Amino acid sequence: DAGVIQSPRHEVTEMGQEVTLRCKPISGHNSLFWYRQTMMRGLELLIYFNNNVPIDDSGMPEDRFSAKMPNASFSTLKIQPSEPRDSAVYFCASSSGQGGTEAFFGQGTRLTVV
Amino acid sequence: GENVEQHPSTLSVQEGDSAVIKCTYSDSASNYFPWYKQELGKGPQLIIDIRSNVGEKKDQRIAVTLNKTAKHFSLHITETQPEDSAVYFCAAITGANNLFFGTGTRLTVIP
């Protein structure tokens, strides 16, 4: 398996533009997590899906952020409109979701909003 | 939700010495505690984990201890090597299967 695949690896966009980050979890995994990593706040859990259903989105910072998982092999994180403070590395991770199992991370998307 | 605190934020040790990183958690229902290592430009990778029914686990130079009563767990790296230099994260899985991370410890092993 190729592991968790995220795209793009790097994204530079202007303030106010819409940004879409993509994630393909490991086949067979039924839990998917989106994290944001910054120097100041570390790894923040944004949203957690189980069997394609959002279970906990309390970490989503505000209404500008939205996430979807239309099927078991694809998820998106959208920011609209983007702001400079959204600049961070965004990670997607997946696990088999049995509670107490390893989560595998993608390589991350480095987002820069100018 | 779960609140995981991690200390120290930075740690420098001489090669061959031991390194200890400590974490506390708030949700008594948490039952799984993984540790991740993140190298520059990469996503975090699991290095060791411990479940709530075990007090200690060891894998070569790495060991973890868990005190459920006090709600704290620690990572111990012995005989540190330069390649151990990285950012280490502790984490806890809650009863709802959410995975929450500590704020990370940047470990530097000085040759």
Cβ–Cβ gap B93/A99 under 8 Å:
yes
- Positive or negative CA dihedral for A2, A4, A5, A11? negative
**Is the pLDDT score of A87 beyond 90?**
yes
Q: With 0-12 CB in 10 A as exposed, 13-18 as middle and 19+ as buried, what is A36?
A: buried
Q: Which residues of A touch B103 (CB under 8 A)?
A: 41-43
Nearest Cα neighbor of A92 from A12, A1, A18, A7 is A7
Per-residue pLDDT of chain B in tens (111 residues, 90 and over written 9): 778 999 999 999 999 999 999 999 998 888 899 999 999 989 999 999 998 888 999 999 999 999 999 999 999 999 999 999 999 999 998 777 788 899 999 999 999
Confidence of residue A36 (pLDDT cuts 50, 70, 90): very high
Q: Hey, is the C-beta of B78 within 8 angstroms of any chain A C-beta?
A: no
Residues of A in contact with B32 (CB under 8 A): 99-101
Residue in chain B closest to A6 (alpha carbons) equals B43
Choose between A68 and A56: higher pLDDT.
A68
Tokens of A22: 């993509």
Separation CA A27–CA B82 (nearest Å): 35
CA atoms within 13 A on the CB side of B80: 21
Q: Which of B31, B96, B103 sits opposite A100 (nearest CB)?
A: B31
Which residues does residue B37 pair with via DSSP β-bridges, in sequence order? B45, B88
- Strand, coil or helix: B109: strand
Contact A105, A93 (CB under 8 A): yes
